[in-house]
Amino acid sequence: MLQLVNLSNYASDLELIHNNPVCLEAFLNHHHLDGLEMMFCDSWNPRVHKKQWIQGVHLRFWPNWLDFWRGDRAELLRQFGSDAQIEACYGALTREGWLNVYRENLRIAKMAGAKYVVFHVSQARIPELFHWQFSFSDRQIIEATVEVINELVQSIPGDMELLFENLWWPGLTLKDKELTALLLDSVKHPKAGIMLDIGHLMNTNPELKNQDAGVDYVLKIVDNLEEYKHYIHGVHLHYSLSGNYIKQSRGAAMPQKDILAAAMSHVLRIDEHLPFSSPCVKKIINCVQPTYVVHEFMYTSINDWSEKIRIQQQALQYKER
């Protein structure tokens, strides 16, 4: 089992490590981590994010993409207002152009030596994040994801694992074994699997009151996957107990000003990315036996990041040497 942390090459994350590989290496060594799950938002600088540290790459993702994939121009113009805004969002105006954005992301992942890539399986228009009345079903999103992946599969090396991540919005929630099977059985990649995001799965049950109840819920969902639980090769480890906020905010109208900022704030109040402190979390690791455990957090400083990793490793009874 490899213990990793998430990192991107956004400007804020570069500032976090002072754009300095010595700082990053010291951080990884201090916590006895095996490397990084990177998100490349720009070209890769191997001087800063060294190849020997990169185990996986989280591919770019668009929370709202299915109207674009379906070519629903009227709906896109209703949402974005102009072709320029559509292109600014997706990096292209055509399916093929958008696929090329993914292909470039995959090319960088291959260059960086990633052993796996992560692909989000979810879809929600911005107003739906607030009112929870969704335009597409889990099945529609999974079927469209299969279409996208099978267009990209030639760009994914055969020895690179393709891990699908669950979310709480419509798509792959892991609560339906048959839909999980549909995704895994339909993609034309030989090493398809699951990146089990613990906090995202907890977000599907707003009645959870504490970490231990969350662990029990996760184990129940995993058990219900039956033979497909063996496709879980990685875990994004963090927890969320945002049920009260979910229930209070469900059905809210979308704000009329600063919509993107309001949506981001809303999502982060649901998806808390907090470190497990209860040793009960070991039950998930013992059950799943993942190859990769990614301590996935939001962080305000390198000290905040370090403390969250320390708390979670202590819960796992991981002893520093």
Tell me what percent of the residues of the chain surpass a pLDDT of 90: 93
Name which of 120, 168, 124 is nearest 148 in CA terms: 120
Q: State residue 318's pLDDT score.
A: 56
For position 218, what pLDDT does the model report? 98
**Rounded Cα distance, 175 and 170, in Å:** 11
Q: Does the pLDDT at position 253 exceed 80?
A: no
Of 198, 221, 224, give the one whose Cα is nearest residue 276. Answer: 198
Residue pointed to by tokens 């469900």: 250
Domains in the chain (CATH in brackets) are: 58-297 (3.20.20)
pLDDT above 70 covers what percent of the chain? Answer: 99
Question: Which of 33-47, 146-160, 306-320 shows the lowest per-residue confidence on average (mean pLDDT)?
Answer: 306-320
Q: Is the pLDDT of residue 147 over 90?
A: yes
Note the pLDDT of residue 319.
45
Specify the pLDDT at position 191: 97
Under the banding of pLDDT at 50, 70 and 90, the label for residue 269 is: very high
Instruction: Give Cα separations from 130 to 175, 200, 266 (angstroms).
Output: 22, 17, 8
b/e map of 135-145 (b: 16 or more CB within 10 Å)? ebebebbbebb
